[in-house]
Amino acid sequence: MGIDISVGVLVDISEASYLESKDFIDHYKEQFEAINQYLISIGLPEHKEPSSFGGVPTLELTATKELYPLRFFAEELESRSNLRFPHLLTVAHSNGGIFLPLDFDEVLEPDPSFRIEYSLGSAYKLHCECLSLAALLDIDKDFDAPLIDCSISKIDNIGYSLEDFNLIYEDGCIWPNGAGACYSLYIASHFSITHKAAIVIF
Higher per-residue pLDDT: 70 or 190: 190
Q: What is the pLDDT of residue 2?
A: 52
Assess contact for 63 and 3: CB atoms under 8 A.
yes
Global confidence as pTM: 0.90
Task: Tell me: pLDDT of 161 over 50.
Answer: yes
Strand order in the sheet with 97-100: 59-62, 4-7, 199-201, 97-100, 120-122
Q: Which residue, among 139, 130, 144, 120, has the nearest Cα to 185 in the 3D structure?
A: 130
| DSSP-derived 3-state class of residue 13 | coil
Phi then psi dihedrals of residue 92, to 5 deg: -70, -20
Q: Is pLDDT at 168 greater than 90 in this prediction? A: no
What does the alpha-carbon distance between residue 110 and residue 107 come to, in Å, rounded to a whole number? 10
Percent of the chain past pLDDT 90, that is, above it, reads 54
pLDDT in tens, 17-63: 888 888 999 999 999 999 999 999 999 999 999 999 999 999 999 88
pLDDT of residue 1: 47
